[in-house]
Chain A
Amino acid sequence: MSLAHRIIPCLDTDGERVVKGVNFLGLRDAGDPVALAARYNAEGADELVLLDIAASRDRRPTYLETIRRVAAELSIPLTAGGGVRTLEDGRAAVRAGADKVTVNTAAVKRPALISELSREFGAQAVVLAIDAKRAGNHWDVMVRGGRESASRDALEWARMGVAAGAGEILLTSVDRDGTQSGFDVTLTAAISSAVTVPVIASGGAKSPGHFVEIFRDGAADAALAASIFHDSVQSIRTLKEFLASSGVEVRFPC
């Protein structure tokens, strides 16, 4: 009896539709977020992340109507983000139905945003998203969708974020994102041992073996992926069956 490792599908949207693309280039439509959310909820996803990746680019707040419609489909937790810059943005996302709010670029610019959200909603509702990219013998924090270096060490930023009140870290390897060559085990293990909060690994997943690896060797508490689920390259149930047969504890819906 112990905590199950979580499988988390991620819906990247342009506000209204799920989109796919590497580094914001060549975004193409990948479906209706509401329909995908319902499917993942039924297939045994442990949580869902909904990221409005166009909000920052278009300098607008996160699209609340999509949060509302997706939340209505779910009987599992929902994390929403993209364009959360202020406490008021966070409040709006929570009121729309998000259980947790994720912050990234805005928190790098103004770490107090983490504390403000954490004081109001509790640490368990604040997910610090860190996009990390290898730079020599350390990892750099990247902002603006992974395109710009914040000139900050990822391990240090993770510790700072947790001290400020983040209850979870959503760690994306910019080096692996979109490559389908597997999660960044070294990066994830380093961050996971640097902080006391759960770490969600993201970027690079394709095969079920990648998931076994990130839980077993990367010390990830949860693993997130997008396109392999959207394109049905991988069904959540089959993935979980593989994990269970490899000795990784997972939850099966009844």
Chain B
Amino acid sequence: MKITILDYGAGNVPSVERALQRLGVESHRTASPDCISKAEALLLPGVGHYSALVRALDEKHLRTPLLDALRRGVPFLGICLGLQVLFESSDEAPQLQGLNLLAGTVSALPPGVKLPHMGWNQIEKKRESSLLSGIDAGAYFYFAHSYAALDSNNIAATCSHGAEFAAVIEQRNVFAVQFHPEKSGDSGARVLQNFLGLAA
């Protein structure tokens, strides 16, 4: 199986590629609607500004093929912004529409804590999670973000920094994590491995 990385120009694409390489999996990056339509499994990494991702999806005509693939049941893993874009919209760019696949919106983490939420944090499992299979309860993951999904259904695990937010989302073939598995050492590698297992 080959993983298709949706490359809209995000900085963390090389890190994700390297992490997949270490797991012995072939990946290729693309920004072509046609390649996304034909993908066996999709990965959407994202860092930076929400608007950069949403604008790229529209300018490169990726929104429709991506949504079609998700509805067809193609396994999908969204990372960081790749999680946030699944919702209706984000306060980071309220005028733009997200993929609207999940109910709810993305909001700024509340003031009173250091922002961005940057560094290693633990997560709390809310229900059985295939993505977190084999991962210890106390495991740490690397986060780097200022916005988050504060209320959502489909939450498999949450994290807390000023407020509780969605750290892991699972809905049938759609998986998403707010942290960066490609930067989260062995626990992150395990999450990627679990996704590859689910996608196979």
Contacts and interface: CB of A to CB of B under 8 A. Distances in A.
A114 interface: no
Nearest to A123: B116
Contacts of A41: 185
A196 B111 contact: yes
A97 interface: yes
A160 interface: no
Interface stretch (A1-9, A16-24, A141-149): A1-9
A75 B140 contact: no
Contact of A76 (B14, B116, B185): B185
Contacts of A4: 119-121, 140
Chief secondary structure at chain A's binding surface: loop
B115 interface: yes
Interface in A1-60: 1-4, 6, 41, 46
Chief secondary structure at chain B's binding surface: mixed
Given A75-B183, A254-B136, A99 B118 contact: no
Contacts of A209: none
B55 interface: no
A124 B183 contact: no
Nearest to A120: B48
Nearest to B12: A99
A111 interface: no
A37 to B, nearest CB: 13
B139 A254 contact: yes
Contacts of B115: 196-197
A95 interface: yes
A95 B11 CA distance: 7
Nearest to B118: A198
Contact of A125 (B48, B111, B114, B119): B48
A122 B160 CA distance: 21
A184 interface: no
Given A75-B184, A76-B142, A253-B185, A99 B121 contact: no
A60 to B, nearest CB: 23
B187 A6 contact: no
Contacts of B146: 123-124
B186 interface: yes
Given A4-B140, A71-B18, A77-B142, A124 B116 contact: yes
Contacts of A6: 119-120
A221 B18 CA distance: 28
B139 A167 contact: no
Given A4-B140, A76-B142, A77-B144, A198 B119 contact: yes
Contacts of B185: 41, 75-76, 253-254
Interface in B92-113: 111
Interface string A95-139: 101010000000000000000000111111100000000000000
B117 interface: yes
Contacts of A94: 11
Given A71-B14, A124-B144, A124-B146, A251 B186 contact: no
Given A46-B119, A72-B18, 19 more contacts: A2-B121, A3-B119, A3-B120, A3-B161, A75-B22, A75-B188, A77-B142, A99-B183, A120-B48, A122-B47, A123-B146, A124-B118, A125-B47, A125-B48, A125-B144, A197-B116, A198-B118, A198-B119, A222-B119
22 contacts: A3-B161, A4-B119, A4-B120, A46-B119, A71-B15, A75-B183, A75-B184, A77-B142, A77-B180, A119-B49, A121-B47, A122-B48, A124-B145, A125-B47, A196-B114, A197-B115, A198-B118, A221-B114, A222-B119, A251-B120, A253-B186, A254-B186
Interface of A: 1-4, 6, 41, 46, 71-72, 75-77, 94-95, 97, 99, 119-125, 167-168, 196-198, 221-222, 251, 253-254
Interface of B: 11-12, 14-15, 18-19, 22, 47-49, 111, 114-122, 124, 136, 139-140, 142, 144-146, 160-161, 180, 182-189
Which A-B residue pairs are the 8 nearest by beta carbons?
Answer: A122-B48, A124-B144, A251-B140, A4-B120, A251-B120, A124-B116, A94-B11, A1-B122
